[in-house]
Amino acid sequence: MKKLYFTLAFAIGLIMALGGCSQSSSSENSDKKVVKVALSDEVNPPFLFTNDQNEPIGYDMDYLKQLEKKLPEYKFEYTLGEEETNLVGVSTGKYDFAINWFFKNPEREEKFLYPAHEYGYSLTALVTQKSRNDIKTLDDMVDKKFPPVSATGGLRAILNAYNKEHATKPLTLESIDNPSTAENLKLVDKGKADAIFLNVTTFNEVQKQLKLNLKVGGIVSKEPTWLVFNKNNQKLADEIDKATVKLKNDGTLENLAEKWFKVNFFKDLKYINQQNFNFQD
pTM of the model: 0.83
What distance in Å separates the CA atoms of residue 132 and residue 87, rounded to the nearest whole number?
A: 40
- Encode the chain (281 residues) as per-residue pLDDT tens digits: 445 544 444 554 554 455 444 444 455 567 899 999 999 988 788 999 888 888 889 999 999 999 999 999 999 999 999 989 999 999 999 999 999 989 888 889 999 999 999 999 999 999 999 999 999 999 999 999 999 999 988 899 899 999 999 999 999 999 999 899 999 999 999 999 999 999 998 999 899 999 999 999 999 999 999 999 999 999 999 999 999 999 999 999 999 999 999 899 999 998 988 875 554 54
Annotate 103-129 with b (16+ C-beta within 10 A) or e (fewer).
bbeeeeeeebbbbeebbbbbbbbbbbb
Instruction: Indicate the domain borders of the chain.
Output: 7-119+226-274, 122-222
7-119+226-274 to CATH, choices 1.10.1060.10, 3.40.190.10, 3.30.1490.20, 3.40.640.10: 3.40.190.10
CATH of 122-222 given 3.40.50.300, 3.40.50.2300, 3.90.1150.10, 3.40.190.10: 3.40.190.10
The closest of 119, 117, 79, 108 to 96, measured between CA atoms, is 79
